[in-house]
């Protein structure tokens, strides 16, 4: 079981204790299998290149994957975020870097929205 809004894995249980603020909601997901994501791509690239990363899942079936990119200073870059549908095979996340991006190591994080499984990789932009 996973809290979809926070990504927190709650494990296999039949009871969940939670407090909810008035007007808020708790969204829980159930999945019969533990999912593991794999994210791979080149270790470095030039600024301005569109870099492709391969994303795959250990569990068959359609998966909604949220991808976030973090700059070398640790700030999330919303312009590079994307949602992908992964369906039984690998899919591709493209980082469309800009010529004026900072040089340094960027982190790409992929998260399965339902199971909370995550995968990360880094790329250095020169």
- Write down all domains in the chain, each with its CATH number in brackets: 1-30 (no CATH), 33-125 (2.60.40.1930)
Q: What does the pLDDT read at residue 33?
A: 66
**Confidence at residue 58, expressed as pLDDT on a 0 to 100 scale:** 84
| pLDDT 10s digits, 47-79 | 999 999 999 988 877 888 999 999 999 999 999
**pTM as predicted:** 0.76
Average pLDDT per consecutive 10 residues, the chain (126 residues; last block may be shorter) = 70 74 77 79 94 89 90 94 87 93 94 85 95
Q: Three-state SS string across the chain, please?
A: CEECCCCCECCCCCCCCCCCCCCCCCCEECCCCCCCEEEECCCEECCCCEEEEEEEECCCCEEEEEEEEECCCCCECHHHCEEEEEECCCEEEEEECCCCCCCEEEEEEEEECCCCCEEEEEEEEC
CB 91 within 8 A of CB 85: yes
């Amino acid at each position: 079981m996973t809290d979809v809004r926070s990504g927190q894995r709650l494990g296999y249980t039949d009871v969940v204790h939670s407090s909810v603020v008035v007007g808020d909601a708790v969204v829980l997901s159930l999945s019969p299998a533990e999912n593991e994501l794999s994210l791979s791509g080149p270790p470095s690239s030039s600024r301005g290149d569109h870099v492709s990363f391969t994303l795959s899942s250990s569990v068959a079936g359609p998966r909604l994957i949220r991808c976030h990119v973090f700059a070398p200073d640790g700030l999330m870059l919303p312009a590079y975020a994307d949602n992908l549908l992964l369906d039984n095979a690998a899919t591709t996340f493209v980082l469309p870097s800009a010529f004026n991006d900072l040089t340094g190591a960027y982190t790409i994080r992929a998260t399965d929205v339902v199971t909370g499984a995550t995968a990360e990789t880094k790329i250095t932009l020169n």
